């Protein structure tokens, strides 16, 4: 809870209507009384909501959940027609061409919308109707609130063309689908939607892509059949999302087991202490081998990209290939190949490595960059139709500098160890990927001369520093160096200019939503800044070997910050290992 009585989208974010309202509802469901409890949270939360006009001005996702609870009317929500699935797949508006997250969240959401599902209206729901709104619930003109969203929640405003589209569907299309004979088409669309939901459930072993889709798919399965096996299987996997932290129980956005393990192993390998930590390397190696993905069913008919040989973000059950997880997983397995098997265990079969290479080659886009889950290719103007007010760039897949740089590093090492496998394709991939990284160099707004620095916006971490780290590593692995590459020189200059007086680097999470700036291969040219940085890391380590948790560092779609607990130890250890390896000591 923030000092003003509200809650934000993340632990450091400003209070929003969306998060404050659902935090308040959760407290009421859990039995929090009025004027009691820690921080008097319920009373302060309700006051925050009332002071800002109640909950009629609400983000679209929030309206959907409120409607499901019986705290909003479905007529106050914009349409979510599943009939889009009947479009020819070559059309830009087909859901199969959308960004996976947008597609998979709106899949069950559209099912619940078309069913106009509302949970039981209990005495608690009737009380919440009085507590959350400033006027009687039955007197609200729901049609007039469809486009309303509180300013504090509005990171990505709707475009005029989007509002016109919603209005057209609301006025012209939706009434038709509730009447014969068009209701027959709606029923068929519901069946197709549930087919996609069941495939997603089975292919992810009922974990689903993330917590938002998990809860919606589970609810859709319950609506379809409360006593069915689909719902029961969903219930069995809900514990996968609970996380007991030092400050209480939390819900994961989705697990990061594979990603954390892969990065941690690379940090440990860089320490050059293989004999001392052989048991940990062997166990980590075994987990990575078992986490490699192998898809099930007819994935092409479900508009899914190939995933055989990939790594997911969490584990094999997750079922969704990720390019940088695959690249870092491949790189990690290749590094483990160079260590005797009596230390790290049985090595991965070459065919499995070849499958991973195939995934990376398939994910490269025309401009040389790599998307995360599926190849980017839909027209960029579709982002104008982004319906999610607090996320950006969620309608389409986009190319990312982090994914591209990780893939370069993995394929350079693969080419060295397996020079006979798809050599020409690999070389072309690396050449095009390097060109993409150089092309996305952007001006740094903090520089008064507005020179071009290598500060590509990092989409999955905070933010310009994170993007620069990946990019410089990718270019260096491809054979570029400070003397031969202008992008590297400017990247090094950018990082050196941002070094703090204490020797460290810092960047606020605000760099991510605002897109403004609020190890490198330069040891021979600039050793002093690296000595200062290493000293800061060494001095910040605590007595038990842990490093202190500082600001949140990960981000999803520019505006949703994420906490990765292992980062505070993985990256300092990795940085110090590289420092020892690369920097001549004074």
Q: Is residue 520 within 8 Å of 495, Cβ to Cβ?
A: yes
Torsion over CA: 381, 382, 386, 392 (sign): negative
Which residues have CB under 8 Å from 513's CB, separation 6+? 155, 558, 559
324: annotated active-site residue: yes
Q: Answer yes or no: are the C-beta atoms of 284 and 261 closer than 8 Å.
A: yes
Q: How many residues does the chain have?
A: 586
Give the relative orientation of helices 211-224 and 182-203 as an angle to the nearest 10 degrees: 120
- The answer to whether 492 touches 472, Cβ cutoff 8 Å, is yes
d(Cα 318, Cα 325) in Å, to the nearest integer? 13
Of 73, 201, 315, 324, the catalytic one is 324
Write the DSSP symbol of residue 311: B
Give the C-alpha distances (Å, rounded to integers) separating 275 from 282, 343, 344.
11, 7, 10
Nearest residue to 440 via CA among 479, 411, 410, 467: 467
* Torsion, Cα of 151, 154, 155, 158 (10° steps): -130
Integer angstrom CA distances of residue 553 from 78, 291, 492, 506, 514? 34, 25, 21, 10, 15
Q: How far apart are CA 127 and CA 106, in angstroms?
A: 29
**What are the tokens at 57?**
């001005």
CB 471 within 8 A of CB 454: yes
- Strand 442-443 relative to strand 248-251: parallel, antiparallel, unpaired? unpaired
Dihedral angle computed from the Cα positions of residues 361, 363, 366 and 371, in that order, rounded to the nearest 10 degrees: -140
Cα–Cα distance for residue pair 280/267, rounded to 1 Å: 12
Distance between CA atoms of residues 190 and 111, nearest Å? 6
φ, ψ of residue 560 to 5 degrees: the values are -120, 105
User: Whose structure tokens read 């990209």?
Assistant: 305
Read out DSSP for 177-216? Answer: HTSTTHHHHHHHHHHHHHHHHHHHHHHTTT--SSHHHHHH
Place of tokens 């050599």: 423
DSSP states of 352-407? HHHHHHHHHHHHB-TTS-B-SSS---S-GGGGGG---TT-SS-SS---BHHHHHHH
If DSSP codes are grouped into helix, strand and coil, which group holds residue 477? Answer: helix
Pull the structure tokens for residue 19: 């998060």
Strand-pair category, 554-556 with 560-562: antiparallel
Q: Select from 62, 113, 12, 79 the least CA-distant residue to 388.
A: 62
Query: Which residues belong to the active site?
Result: 324
């Amino acid at each position: 809870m923030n000092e003003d009585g509200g809650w934000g989208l993340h632990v450091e974010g400003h209070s929003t209507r969306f998060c404050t309202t659902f935090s308040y509802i959760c407290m009421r469901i859990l039995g929090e009384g009025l004027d009691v409890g820690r921080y008097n949270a319920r009373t302060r939360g309700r006051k925050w909501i009332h002071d800002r006009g109640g909950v009629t001005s609400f983000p679209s996702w929030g309206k959907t959940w409120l409607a499901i609870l019986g705290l909003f009317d479905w007529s106050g929500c914009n349409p979510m027609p599943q009939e889009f699935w009947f479009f020819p797949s070559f059309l830009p508006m087909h859901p199969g061409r959308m960004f996976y997250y947008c597609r998979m969240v709106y899949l069950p959401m559209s099912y619940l919308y078309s069913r106009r599902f509302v949970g039981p209206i209990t005495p608690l729901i009737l009380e919440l109707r009085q507590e959350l709104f400033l006027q009687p619930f039955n007197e609200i003109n729901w049609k007039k609130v469809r486009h309303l969203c509180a300013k504090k929640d509005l990171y990505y405003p709707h475009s005029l063309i989007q509002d016109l589209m919603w209005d057209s569907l609301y006025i012209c299309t939706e009434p038709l689908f509730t009447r014969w004979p068009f209701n027959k088409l709606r029923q068929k669309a519901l069946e197709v939607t549930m087919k996609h939901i069941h495939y997603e459930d089975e292919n992810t072993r009922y974990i689903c892509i993330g917590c938002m889709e998990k809860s919606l798919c589970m609810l859709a399965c319950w609506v379809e059949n409360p006593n069915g096996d689909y719902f029961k299987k969903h219930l069995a996997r809900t514990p996968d999302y609970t996380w007991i932290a030092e400050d209480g129980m939390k819900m994961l956005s989705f697990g990061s087991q594979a990603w954390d393990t892969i990065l941690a192993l690379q940090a440990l390998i860089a320490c050059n202490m293989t004999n001392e930590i052989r048991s940990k390397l062997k166990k980590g190696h075994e987990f990575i081998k078992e986490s490699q993905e192998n898809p099930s069913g007819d994935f092409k008919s479900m508009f899914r990209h190939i995933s055989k040989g990939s790594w997911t973000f969490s584990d094999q059950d997750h079922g969704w290939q990720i390019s940088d997880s695959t690249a870092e997983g491949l790189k990690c397995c290749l590094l483990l190949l160079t260590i005797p098997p009596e230390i790290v265990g049985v090595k991965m079969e070459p065919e499995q490595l070849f499958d991973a290479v195939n995934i990376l080659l398939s994910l490269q886009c025309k401009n040389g960059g790599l998307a995360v889950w599926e190849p980017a290719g839909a027209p960029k103007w579709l982002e104008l139709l982004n319906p999610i007010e607090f996320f950006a760039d969620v309608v389409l897949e986009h190319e990312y500098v982090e994914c591209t740089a990780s893939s370069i590093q993995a394929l350079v090492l693969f080419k060295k160890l397996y020079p006979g496998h798809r050599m020409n394709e690999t070389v072309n991939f690396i050449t095009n990927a390097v060109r993409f990284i150089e092309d996305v160099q952007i001006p740094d707004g903090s520089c008064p001369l507005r020179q071009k620095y290598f500060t590509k916006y990092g989409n999955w971490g905070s933010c310009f520093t994170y993007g620069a780290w990946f990019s410089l590593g990718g270019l260096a692995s491809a054979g570029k160096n400070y003397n031969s590459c202008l992008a590297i020189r400017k990247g090094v200059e950018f990082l050196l200019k941002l070094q703090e007086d204490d020797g460290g680097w810092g960047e606020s999470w605000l760099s991510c939503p605002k897109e403004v700036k609020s190890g490198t291969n330069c040891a021979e040219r600039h050793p002093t800044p690296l000595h200062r940085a290493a000293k800061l890391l060494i001095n910040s380590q605590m007595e038990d070997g842990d490093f202190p948790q500082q600001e949140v560092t990960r981000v999803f779609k520019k505006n949703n910050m994420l906490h990765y607990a292992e980062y505070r130890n993985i990256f300092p250890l990795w940085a110090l290992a590289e420092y020892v390896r690369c920097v001549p000591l004074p």
